[in-house]
């Protein structure tokens, strides 16, 4: 048994590629060496694996060939295929085969390391020479150490600027050798030290989530703190934070301070340089901000005709018109309609062109600076909420309406262009939009008329409701088939039906619906157009018709169930006393219609056939 170390030396890999390699290396190692590595070292300049106990010899191999009785026919072909003579075939358990003795590990390491290099696949890869290898960035060295023996290559490399080529005396000395050469090869250790350094500085934040990337932007961890001129605090806070994070991968510390992680250098020099760069970025952002403010949000809104929403979906001016119409249909008041008019104005701003993440937020800032009331500005700011699973909803009424209008339009427009999400692909974020719309209705209490949703969209949105509500899906499906006019109402009905599922009233309605549904559905085409009271001959059927006229199912669900349940005894009597399939065709058609009416009236409470009993 021996310790084996493999190192793939690269030019600086992107963080994304490091994570891809981290996923794939154990699988590739298993395939090539029959065991997962004991240690994995992932970083921008090297991917390394260490196996603590590898057998010195690969196992003997037995390649099973044809059965003995087919020796005449098949032996020669099989032997040729495996590069041996027919006489060299060995008999075992009634079969011919080839015996391949195991090979010394040192002989197979080069080819298996090569197979690992070639086996890694990256979402973006390149070539750099004629080796035929595609990799995220060029591979510049390989090293394999078996114990203290070099099998592939002879040296590794330490920190790019403070250490050159280094000796790794033995496989199990890999980490300490690199640490002595200014490199921390273990990504989790780098992460730990970054977090420790940030914690030591103070209350840091990472709203854009750059830490995962920063771990792979350094081989050596130097956490530093810097500050910038306080005059930039006059900029909207998120502009400052975005400039820090999106370009520079800094961690805001609040106020005019920030932390960052360097790969080395003299702290004072490196800090001064970074402070200078950030002030330049902020100065530039100030220029851009002032220019946008100088133009003003109203003038920005007028430029939307020149900006395409997305291909086939018209301009942002078209989108604005649709938003205004939807906002009005959703019952939006004056502030909401004003917000709808200005909602997309920031798409024409220079700052959003620079920092797309600031959409909505910066439009709201511009609206405030132009003196619009807070209800307008807040709605503009909240229009993209909820923007994450479980994320917060808009707090203002105008924000809820605008957020719903935005999602409704995104869904309707995308579906009309045939952009349905398929599998895991959802480039237009339609699942998130549908879930957001449901949450606005269910949790936000916003009345979203179902009639505003085109059929296909309605189906898509309401399917999401099934996953969102903590109820058996049958009840949601039943409620979806009801006559309830709004999305939140569907959810409320589903919940009420579920809560009432054991009550007598529910039982009564369920039974009545079920009997009417079963019989009438089978003979639906024979039913009359409408019930003719003249043709109701029996008392029991007249009683059912009268009872049906009294039933009130729209409104409070419990009262509706009680009202609907009054039909249960009438139905029972009807089936006892009346023969639906009368010989007289007109009478029969009339009775079938009466039953269909019972089903349809009760069906306004939902499709009870969805609910198993």
197 binds another protein (CB under 8 A): no
Give the interface segment with another protein, choosing from 21-29, 122-130, 169-177, 575-583 (CB under 8 A): 122-130
Q: Site for another protein (CB under 8 A): which residue of 306, 485, 581, 586?
A: 306
Q: Give the range of 266-274, 397-405, 503-511, 559-567 binding another protein by CB under 8 A.
A: 266-274
Q: Assess 126 for contact with another protein (CB under 8 A).
A: yes
Site for another protein, residues 145 to 174, rule: CB under 8 A? 160-162
**CB-based contacts of 230, cutoff 8 Å, min separation 6:** 255, 256
Place of tokens 């007028």: 302
Cα 328 from chain centroid? 31
**CA atoms of 72 and 64, how far apart (whole Å):** 16
Query: Among residues 81, 127, 231, 522, which is the contact residue for another protein, using CB under 8 A?
Result: 127
CA proximity to 261, closest of 215, 227, 307, 294: 215
DSSP labels for 11-67? S---HHHHHHHHHHHHHHHHHHHSS--SEEEE-SSEEEEEEEEE-SBPPPEEEEEEE
Could you tell me which stretch among 134-142, 323-331, 412-420, 450-458 binds another protein (CB under 8 A)?
134-142
272 binds another protein (CB under 8 A): yes
Tell me: does residue 276 bind another protein (CB under 8 A).
yes
Q: Which is nearer to another protein, 217 or 457 (CB)?
A: 217
Name which of 176, 148, 111 is nearest 2 in CA terms.
148
Query: Rounded to an integer, what distance in angstroms lies between the CA atom of residue 15 and that of residue 136?
Result: 10
- Hey, which residues between 309 and 368 contact another protein (CB under 8 A)? 311, 315
128 in contact with another protein (CB under 8 A):
yes
Cβ closest to another protein, residue 7 vs residue 338:
7
Q: Which of 69, 72, 85, 269 contacts another protein by CB under 8 A?
A: 269
The owner of tokens 């030019």 is 11
DSSP class of residue 84 equals: S
In the complex with another protein, the residue whose CB is nearer, 224 or 602, is 224
The count of chain residues that interact with another protein, using the rule CB under 8 A, is 46
Stretch that binds another protein, among 304-312, 366-374, 377-385, 602-610 (CB under 8 A): 304-312
| DSSP-derived secondary structure for 214-263 | HTTT-SS-EEEEEE--GGGGGS-HHHHHHIIIIIT--EE-STTEEEEEES
**Binds another protein by CB under 8 A, chosen from 137, 193, 477, 517:** 137
Among 53, 92, 287, 445, binds another protein (CB under 8 A): 287
Helices of type H across 420-578 = 430-442, 455-468, 473-480, 487-499, 504-522, 539-550, 557-565, 567-577
222 lies in the binding site for another protein (CB under 8 A):
yes
DSSP-based three-state secondary structure for 275: helix
Q: Is residue 591 a contact partner of residue 538, using CB atoms and an 8 Å limit?
A: no
Per DSSP, the three-state class of 381 is helix
> Cβ 191 to another protein, closest distance in Å?
17
Q: Which is nearer to another protein, 66 or 264 (CB)?
A: 264
For the chain, how many helices (H) and strands (E)?
24, 13
Q: How far apart, in whole angstroms, are the C-alpha atoms of residue 313 and residue 410?
A: 9
Among 38, 52, 114, 283, binds another protein (CB under 8 A): 283
- Name residues whose C-beta falls within 8 Å of residue 537's C-beta, 6 or more positions apart in sequence: 587
Tokens of 15: 């963080």
- State yes or no: residue 511 binds another protein (CB under 8 A): no
Our finding on whether 245 is near another protein (CB under 8 A) is: no
Q: Which stretch binds another protein (CB under 8 A): 68-76, 255-263, 366-374, 418-426?
A: 255-263
Per CB under 8 A, the list member of 96, 262, 560, 611 interacting with another protein is 262
Site string (548-587) toward another protein, x via CB under 8 A: ----------------------------------------
Residue 500 has phi, psi (to 5 degrees) of -90, 5
Q: Which of 3, 242, 263, 396 binds another protein (CB under 8 A)?
A: 263
Which ranges of 234-355 does DSSP label H, i.e. alpha helix? Answer: 237-242, 267-295, 297-302, 316-329, 334-342, 350-354
Residues in 5-44 at the binding interface with another protein, rule: CB under 8 A = 11-12, 14-16, 44
Stretch that binds another protein, among 131-139, 325-333, 496-504, 574-582 (CB under 8 A): 131-139
Write out the DSSP string of 202-217.
-----TT--HHHHTTT
Select the span of 53-61, 107-115, 136-144, 508-516 touching another protein (CB under 8 A): 136-144
Is 230 a residue that touches another protein (CB under 8 A)? no
DSSP-assigned beta bridge partners for residue 12: none
Please, which residue, 242 or 609, has the CB nearer to another protein?
242
Residues in touch with another protein (CB under 8 A)? 11-12, 14-16, 44, 124, 126-129, 136-138, 140, 160-162, 217-218, 222, 248, 260, 262-266, 269-270, 272-274, 276-280, 283-284, 287, 306-308, 311, 315
């Amino acid at each position: 048994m021996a310790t084996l170390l493999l190192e793939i030396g690269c030019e600086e890999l992107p963080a994304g590629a490091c994570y891809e390699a981290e996923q794939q290396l154990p699988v590739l190692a298993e395939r090539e060496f029959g065991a997962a590595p004991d240690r994995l070292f992932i970083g921008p300049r090297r991917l390394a694996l260490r196996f603590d106990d590898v057998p010195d010899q690969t196992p003997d191999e037995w390649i099973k060939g044809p059965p003995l009785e087919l020796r005449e026919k098949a032996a020669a072909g099989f032997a040729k295929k495996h590069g041996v003579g027919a006489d060299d075939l060995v008999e075992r358990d009634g079969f011919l085969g080839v015996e391949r003795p195991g090979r010394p590990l040192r002989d197979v390491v080069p080819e298996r390391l090569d197979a690992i290099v070639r086996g890694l696949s990256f979402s973006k890869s390149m070539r750099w020479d004629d080796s035929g290898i595609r990799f995220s960035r060029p591979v510049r060295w390989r090293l394999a150490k078996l114990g203290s023996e070099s099998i592939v290559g002879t040296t590794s490399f330490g920190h790019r600027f403070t250490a050159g080529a280094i000796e790794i005396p033995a496989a199990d000395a890999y980490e300490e050798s690199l640490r002595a050469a200014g490199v921390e090869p273990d990504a989790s250790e780098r992460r730990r030290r970054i977090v420790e350094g940030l914690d030591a500085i103070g209350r840091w934040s990472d709203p854009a989530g750059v830490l995962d990337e920063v771990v792979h932007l350094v081989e050596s961890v130097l956490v530093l703190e810097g500050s910038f001129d306080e005059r930039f605090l006059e900029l909207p806070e998120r502009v400052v934070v975005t400039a820090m994070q999106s370009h520079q991968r800094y961690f805001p510390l609040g106020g005019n301070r920030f932390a960052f992680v360097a790969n080395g250098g003299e702290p004072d020099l490196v800090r001064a340089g970074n402070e200078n760069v950030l002030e330049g970025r902020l100065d530039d952002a100030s220029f851009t901000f002032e220019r946008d403010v100088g133009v003003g949000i109203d003038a920005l809104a007028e430029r939307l005709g020149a900006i395409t929403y997305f291909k086939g979906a018209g301009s942002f001016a078209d989108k604005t018109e649709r938003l205004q119409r939807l906002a009005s249909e959703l019952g939006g008041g004056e502030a909401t309609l004003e917000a709808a008019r200005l909602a997309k104005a920031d798409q024409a701003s220079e700052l959003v062109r620079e920092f797309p993440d600031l959409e909505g937020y910066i439009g709201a800032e511009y609206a405030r600076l132009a003196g619009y009331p807070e209800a307008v500005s807040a709605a503009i700011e909240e229009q993209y909420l909820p923007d994450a699973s479980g994320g917060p909803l808009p707090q203002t009424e105008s924000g809820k309406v605008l957020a719903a209008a935005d999602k409704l339009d995104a869904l309707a427009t995308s579906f009309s262009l045939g952009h349905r999400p398929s599998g895991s692909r959802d480039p237009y974020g339609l699942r998130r939009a549908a879930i957001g719309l449901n949450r606005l209705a269910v949790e936000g209490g916003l009345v979203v008329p179902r009639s505003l949703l085109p059929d296909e969209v309605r189906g898509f949105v309401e399917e999401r409701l099934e996953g969102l509500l903590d109820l058996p899906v049958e009840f949601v499906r039943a409620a979806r088939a009801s006559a309830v006019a709004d999305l939140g109402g569907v959810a409320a009905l589903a919940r009420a039906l579920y809560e009432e599922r054991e009550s007598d009233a529910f039982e009564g309605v369920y039974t009545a619906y079920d009997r009417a549904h079963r019989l009438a559905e089978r003979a639906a085409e024979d039913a009359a157009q409408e019930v003719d009271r003249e043709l109701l001959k029996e008392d029991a059927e007249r009683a059912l018709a009268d009872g049906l006229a009294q039933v009130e199912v729209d409104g409070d669900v419990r009262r509706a169930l009680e009202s609907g349940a009054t039909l249960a005894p009438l139905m029972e009597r009807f089936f006892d006393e009346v023969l639906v399939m009368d010989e007289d065709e007109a009478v029969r058609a009339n009775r079938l219609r009466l039953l269909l009416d019972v089903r349809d009236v009760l069906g306004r409470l939902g499709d009870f056939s969805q609910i198993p009993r």
